[in-house]
């Protein structure tokens, strides 16, 4: 007898084109016809659904009306009973009501994904959320995290047994990324002067990503360097970033906001260096994409970033206690942007590290194993 396709219900707080959502789209596409998928965005935002190719069985479930926690729990329970998924997959604290609903229905085959923390927990964890995770997560099939730092939090702070936690590093389709070569055609389309050194950034423009820090640092780059900033992504911080770029003399005419780009590979080729200015991260997919594009990196010291990069780049990872102001980041950006030879050497080392550790195929195999074991119960 041929086994029917197991049905996976993915529950997100929001389904916009950010790291976990984009990764999920790629995993679903990579799994092909092995599973059926439904996606629920608690806030009704489903922008990332446009990333799907349409080749596979993926459905959107209408979002639940806004309500208090107990009303939301009741509605989720009713939805799960109606949909009858083989496994409920929840993503981060914003979808934690789905963990409660699955547990109270007796689901033993739910999988919870934790990718990091929003701005309200960037500096200090909330005790209520710690307690909720300690109480509810032992009853799920697996907790999936992308970074060693999160693995440590799950096993120490949330008291989960190591066997309950699966650490699956993010990965990208390395063959899709070519070494950055300036991409003159794209630079011309974006009206970026070809002689400028281009500093890139990519991600959803929300507070914890702190794109304003990047721009404040760029404003302090040595005036002798003819630089340009190329920012990929959209989000609530974009308006403030555009205002800062427009009203800061040293940035005026030197910043391009490309918005969300469905396939950023060509844009990475147009960059000479890459920057992460976040308050909090775990294992940024954009960092792996930049490494796969042979780009050198300057970053705040967040999540697993320091461990992800080769040792030769340690000096360009700014310690947390120093990143409150833009000056340390600006100093490192200036140092990197004025040295083309060093940039090329660091970029080559980054591509090699990405090939060794961060392939999409390895990530997909690990997620397939988790989902197959969850739906086999």
Contact (CB, 8 A) for 183 and 270? yes
Could you read off the pLDDT tens digit of each residue along the chain, which spans 377 residues?
445 789 999 999 999 988 899 999 999 999 999 999 999 999 999 999 999 998 998 999 988 877 777 888 999 999 999 999 999 999 999 999 999 999 999 887 899 999 987 766 766 788 999 999 999 999 999 999 998 999 999 999 999 999 999 999 999 999 999 999 999 999 999 999 989 999 999 998 999 899 999 999 999 999 899 999 999 999 999 999 999 999 999 999 999 999 999 899 999 999 999 999 998 888 899 999 999 999 999 999 998 899 999 998 899 999 876 556 668 899 999 999 999 999 999 999 999 999 999 999 999 999 999 999 999 86
Q: Which of 344, 212, 330, 189 is nearest to 272 (CA)?
A: 344
Contact call for residues 333 and 298 (beta carbons, < 8 A) = yes
Question: What pLDDT does residue 132 have?
Answer: 92
Q: What is the pLDDT of residue 324?
A: 60
The answer to whether position 60 is within a domain reads: yes
Q: Count how many domains the chain has.
A: 2
The two structure tokens encoding residue 127: 């005790």
pLDDT confidence of residue 341? 96
Q: Do 340 and 370 lie in a common domain? A: no
How does DSSP classify residue 363?
H
What pLDDT is recorded for position 2?
45
CATH code, domain carrying 304 = 3.40.50.2000
Would 137 be classed as within a structural domain? yes
In terms of DSSP H, where are the helices of the chain? 19-31, 69-83, 96-104, 127-136, 148-152, 184-189, 211-218, 238-247, 265-269, 285-292, 305-308, 327-337, 340-357, 360-375
Residue 178 and residue 166 share a domain:
no
Domain range spanning residue 201? Answer: 174-357
**79 and 28 within one domain:** yes
Q: Are both 320 and 297 inside the same structural domain?
A: yes
Tokens 């990503």 correspond to 209
DSSP states along 242-294:
HHHHHH-TTTTT-EEEEE--SS-HHHHHT-SEEEE--S--SS-HHHHHHHHTT
200 and 61 belong to one structural domain: no
Residue 2, in any domain of the structure: no
**1 domain-assigned:** no
* pLDDT given for residue 281 in this prediction: 84
The answer on 149 and 85 residing in a single domain is yes
| 25: its two tokens | 């789209």
Among candidates 17, 235, 210, which has minimal Cα distance to 119? 210
Q: What is the pTM of this model?
A: 0.82
């Amino acid at each position: 007898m041929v086994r029917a396709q197991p049905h996976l219900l993915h529950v997100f707080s929001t389904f916009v084109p950010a790291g976990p959502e984009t990764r999920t789209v790629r995993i679903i596409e990579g799994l092909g016809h092995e599973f059926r998928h439904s996606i629920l965005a608690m806030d009704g935002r489903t922008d990332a659904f446009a990333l799907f190719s349409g080749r596979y069985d993926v459905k959107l479930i209408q979002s639940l009306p806004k309500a208090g926690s107990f009303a939301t729990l009741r509605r989720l329970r009713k939805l799960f009973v109606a949909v009858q998924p083989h496994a409920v997959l929840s993503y981060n604290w914003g979808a934690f009501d789905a963990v409660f609903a699955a547990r109270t229905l007796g689901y033993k085959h739910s999988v919870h994904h934790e990718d990091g923390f929003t701005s309200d927990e960037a500096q200090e964890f909330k005790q209520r959320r710690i307690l909720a995770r300690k109480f509810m997560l032992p009853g799920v099939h697996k907790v999936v995290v992308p970074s060693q730092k999160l693995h440590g939090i799950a096993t120490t702070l949330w008291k989960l047994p190591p066997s309950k936690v699966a650490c699956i590093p993010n990965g990208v389709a390395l063959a899709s990324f070519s070494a950055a070569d300036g991409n003159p055609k794209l630079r011309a389309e974006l009206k970026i002067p070809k002689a400028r050194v281009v500093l890139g950034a990519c991600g959803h423009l929300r507070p914890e990503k702190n794109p304003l820090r990047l721009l404040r640092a760029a404003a302090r780059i040595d005036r002798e360097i003819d630089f340009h900033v190329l920012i990929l992504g959209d989000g609530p911080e974009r308006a403030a970033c555009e205002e800062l770029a427009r009203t800061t003399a040293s940035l005026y005419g030197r910043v391009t906001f490309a918005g969300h780009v469905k396939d950023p590979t060509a844009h990475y080729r147009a960059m000479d260096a890459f920057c992460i200015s976040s308050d909090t991260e775990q294992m940024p997919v954009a960092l792996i994409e930049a490494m796969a594009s042979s780009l050198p990196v300057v970053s705040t010291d967040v999540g697993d970033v320091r461990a992800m990069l080769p040792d030769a780049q340690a000096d360009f990872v700014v310690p947390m206690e120093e990143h409150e102001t833009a000056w340390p980041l600006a100093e490192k950006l200036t140092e990197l942007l004025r040295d083309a030879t060093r940039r090329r050497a660091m970029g080559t080392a980054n591509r090699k590290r990405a090939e060794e550790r961060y392939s999409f195929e390895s990530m997909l195999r690990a997620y397939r194993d988790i989902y197959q074991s969850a739906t086999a119960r």
